[in-house]
Protein backbone atom coordinates (compact mmCIF):
# COMPACT_ATOMS: atom_id res chain seq x y z
CA UNK A 1 0.00 0.00 0.00
CA UNK A 2 1.06 3.55 -0.63
CA UNK A 3 0.78 6.41 1.85
CA UNK A 4 2.00 9.93 2.21
CA UNK A 5 2.85 11.81 5.38
CA UNK A 6 3.33 15.54 5.39
CA UNK A 7 5.19 16.23 8.57
CA UNK A 8 4.03 19.81 9.08
CA UNK A 9 0.42 20.89 8.98
CA UNK A 10 1.40 24.55 9.01
CA UNK A 11 4.58 26.40 8.05
CA UNK A 12 5.06 30.11 8.59
CA UNK A 13 7.98 31.97 7.05
CA UNK A 14 9.05 35.54 6.49
CA UNK A 15 9.13 36.89 2.98
CA UNK A 16 12.53 36.34 1.43
CA UNK A 17 13.50 33.43 3.68
CA UNK A 18 13.72 29.76 2.67
CA UNK A 19 10.74 27.43 2.71
CA UNK A 20 10.94 23.72 3.54
CA UNK A 21 7.91 21.45 3.32
CA UNK A 22 8.56 17.89 4.44
CA UNK A 23 7.03 14.78 2.93
CA UNK A 24 7.65 11.10 3.61
CA UNK A 25 6.08 8.28 1.68
CA UNK A 26 5.73 4.55 1.88
CA UNK A 27 5.30 2.38 -1.15
CA UNK A 28 5.65 -1.23 -2.11
CA UNK A 29 7.03 -0.28 -5.50
CA UNK A 30 8.78 2.67 -7.16
CA UNK A 31 6.16 5.41 -7.22
CA UNK A 32 5.89 8.70 -8.99
CA UNK A 33 5.76 11.64 -6.62
CA UNK A 34 4.26 15.08 -7.06
CA UNK A 35 3.84 18.37 -5.29
CA UNK A 36 0.69 20.33 -5.99
CA UNK A 37 -0.28 23.79 -4.74
CA UNK A 38 -3.82 24.97 -4.06
CA UNK A 39 -4.66 28.60 -3.59
CA UNK A 40 -7.88 29.46 -1.72
CA UNK A 41 -10.99 28.26 -3.52
CA UNK A 42 -8.95 27.22 -6.53
CA UNK A 43 -8.02 23.94 -8.14
CA UNK A 44 -4.65 22.27 -7.82
CA UNK A 45 -1.62 23.34 -9.80
CA UNK A 46 1.27 20.99 -10.45
CA UNK A 47 4.54 22.33 -9.04
CA UNK A 48 6.80 19.45 -9.96
CA UNK A 49 6.98 15.69 -10.30
CA UNK A 50 9.47 12.87 -9.87
CA UNK A 51 9.20 9.88 -12.17
CA UNK A 52 12.43 7.90 -11.63
CA UNK A 53 14.72 10.24 -13.53
CA UNK A 54 16.90 12.85 -11.81
CA UNK A 55 16.49 12.82 -8.04
CA UNK A 56 16.62 16.62 -7.82
CA UNK A 57 13.54 17.95 -9.53
CA UNK A 58 13.05 21.57 -10.43
CA UNK A 59 9.55 22.95 -10.70
CA UNK A 60 7.74 26.15 -11.38
CA UNK A 61 8.02 29.38 -9.37
CA UNK A 62 11.45 28.52 -8.01
CA UNK A 63 10.44 25.36 -6.17
CA UNK A 64 12.47 22.19 -6.19
CA UNK A 65 12.30 18.83 -4.48
CA UNK A 66 14.78 16.05 -3.84
CA UNK A 67 13.82 12.40 -3.94
CA UNK A 68 15.74 10.38 -1.36
CA UNK A 69 14.94 6.72 -1.63
CA UNK A 70 16.98 5.76 1.43
CA UNK A 71 14.96 8.16 3.54
CA UNK A 72 11.68 7.69 1.62
CA UNK A 73 11.40 11.44 1.49
CA UNK A 74 10.45 14.02 -1.11
CA UNK A 75 10.87 17.39 0.59
CA UNK A 76 9.92 20.61 -1.21
CA UNK A 77 12.08 23.71 -0.93
CA UNK A 78 12.27 27.25 -2.19
CA UNK A 79 15.23 29.51 -1.40
CA UNK A 80 13.22 32.72 -1.01
CA UNK A 81 9.54 32.87 -0.16
CA UNK A 82 7.22 35.34 -1.82
CA UNK A 83 3.89 36.56 -0.54
CA UNK A 84 2.18 34.79 -3.43
CA UNK A 85 3.48 31.45 -2.12
CA UNK A 86 0.91 31.51 0.67
CA UNK A 87 -1.28 28.51 -0.12
CA UNK A 88 -1.95 24.86 0.66
CA UNK A 89 0.63 22.36 -0.56
CA UNK A 90 -0.01 18.68 -1.15
CA UNK A 91 2.52 15.90 -1.51
CA UNK A 92 1.06 13.19 -3.72
CA UNK A 93 2.12 9.66 -4.66
CA UNK A 94 0.83 7.31 -7.31
CA UNK A 95 -0.98 4.33 -5.87
CA UNK A 96 -0.13 1.84 -8.56
CA UNK A 97 -0.28 1.12 -12.24
CA UNK A 98 -3.79 2.52 -12.44
CA UNK A 99 -2.39 6.05 -11.94
CA UNK A 100 -4.62 6.77 -8.98
CA UNK A 101 -3.20 9.27 -6.52
CA UNK A 102 -2.89 9.33 -2.77
CA UNK A 103 -2.72 12.75 -1.19
CA UNK A 104 -0.97 13.87 1.94
CA UNK A 105 -2.96 15.85 4.48
CA UNK A 106 -1.55 19.11 3.20
CA UNK A 107 0.68 21.86 4.58
CA UNK A 108 -0.60 25.40 4.92
CA UNK A 109 2.07 27.98 4.16
CA UNK A 110 1.76 31.51 5.43
CA UNK A 111 4.23 34.21 4.46
CA UNK A 112 4.86 37.16 6.77
CA UNK A 113 5.77 40.52 5.32
Partner 1 sequence: GAVVSQHPSWVICKSGTSVKIECRSLDFQATTMFWYRQFPKQSLMLMATSNEGSKATYEQGVEKDKFLINHASLTLSTLTVTSAHPEDSSFYICSARDGTNQETQYFGPGTRLLVL
Q: Which of 31, 71, 72, 69 is nearest to 51 (CA)?
A: 31
Q: Which of 67, 106, 109, 111 binds partner 1 (CB under 8 A)?
A: 106
**Taking contact as CB under 8 A, which single stretch among the options 18-26, 35-43, 53-61, 74-82 is the one that binds partner 1?**
35-43
Mask for 51-80, x = binds partner 1 (CB under 8 A): x-----------------------------
Contacts to partner 1 by CB under 8 A: 32, 34, 36, 41-46, 49, 51, 90, 94, 98-101, 103-106
Amino acid sequence: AQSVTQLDSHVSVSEGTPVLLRCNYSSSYSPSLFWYVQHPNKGLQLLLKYTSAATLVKGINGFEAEFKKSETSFHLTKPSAHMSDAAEYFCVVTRGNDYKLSFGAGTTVTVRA
